Amino acid sequence: MSTKKEIPVFFSVDHKYIPFLGVAIHSLKKNLSKNSHCTIHVLYTNIPEDLKARITALSDDRADIRFTNVEKKVSLLAGELNLRDYYTISIYYRLFIASMFPQYHKAIYLDADVVLNDDITGLYDQELGDNLVGAASDAIVYGHPDFVQYAKGSLGIDAMKYFNSGVLLMNLDEFRRQKIGERFVELLNKYHFDTICPDQDYLNHLCRGQVLYLDKGWNKMSLDEDYDGVPHLIHYNMFYKPWQYDDICYESYFWKFAKETAFYDEILAIKAAFGEADKEAHRKANETLHANAIRISKMDHNFYNTLVKGKQESKV
């Protein structure tokens, strides 16, 4: 019987992210302690079998990789999901981990646009207590006035307390006890709030006051290199992706791992095909994102004004 620490790790992707998922998993395995083993669950709704096979082929004595179809869970989400730009419905899959995997007490969720430079055991071993999640403050949000206003006006959360949902240490027992998945479905289907970061906004609302804030080295975004030493995990979030642009912060780490995978040539082709029209679309999307942040922060129908403000005033 194995004495290795078992660590459940979840990703959620669509077919376009398979190459980058391959790089993320490779980096995770390469840095994993010999005393740990990962069961990696990839949540999906519509990925061809040949693409799934390319990822499951990465299974070895360090990690067992499995795909789980979440189509039945996603069917619970009714109506308009307010998805914009590069978002797909896969961003919501993480909300169903607790209900779909009752065998786990806690787990790690990762976006696929990450690389690990350190042993993920160090993240998993952090004590959550009664907190729902361990997460890092979102540097994109607290670093720009428009998003600072958005966090406060739309959710009633200080920007430094607004966390990024791309890297989560999840207290699944507490998720089930508080029925977070069910509450998410109820809120989304009832209110359909306009958002700029859909799943992230719902999680920040639902986990309010029950967050263990992680060192940003466990979710170091590729905005700058203001970190002392090598980050444990680099997150190529938003428009800061080395497979689209040159001179991205920490890009050397991504390419180092990518070159060691069977996806390298494919990723090079993806970058070569990313042209001026794509960059212009990103520029316009970024302008729209900022405009929407200001607009939504002033709306009567948002998380803060609809669900939070009244409760806060009743306590005064």
Q: Residue 162 has what DSSP assignment?
A: P
Q: What is the pTM of this model?
A: 0.94
What does the alpha-carbon distance between residue 13 and residue 19 come to, in Å, rounded to a whole number? 10
* pLDDT, tens digit (0-9, with 9 covering 90-100), for 21-54: 999 999 999 999 999 999 999 999 889 999 999 9
pLDDT of residue 80: 47
Strands 211-213 and 133-135: parallel
pLDDT of residue 86: 47
What does the alpha-carbon distance between residue 24 and residue 254 come to, in Å, rounded to a whole number? 9
What does the alpha-carbon distance between residue 17 and residue 32 come to, in Å, rounded to a whole number? 22
- CA 137 to mean position of chain CA atoms: 12
Give the residue carrying structure tokens 């179809």: 69
Give strand pairing partners of 133. 170, 211
The answer as to CATH 3.40.630.150 being correct for domain 5-314 is no
> Phi and psi for 252 in degrees, rounded to 5?
-60, -30
Strands 106-110 and 5-12: parallel
* pLDDT, tens digit (0-9, with 9 covering 90-100), for 50-86: 999 999 999 999 999 999 998 887 776 755 444 444 4
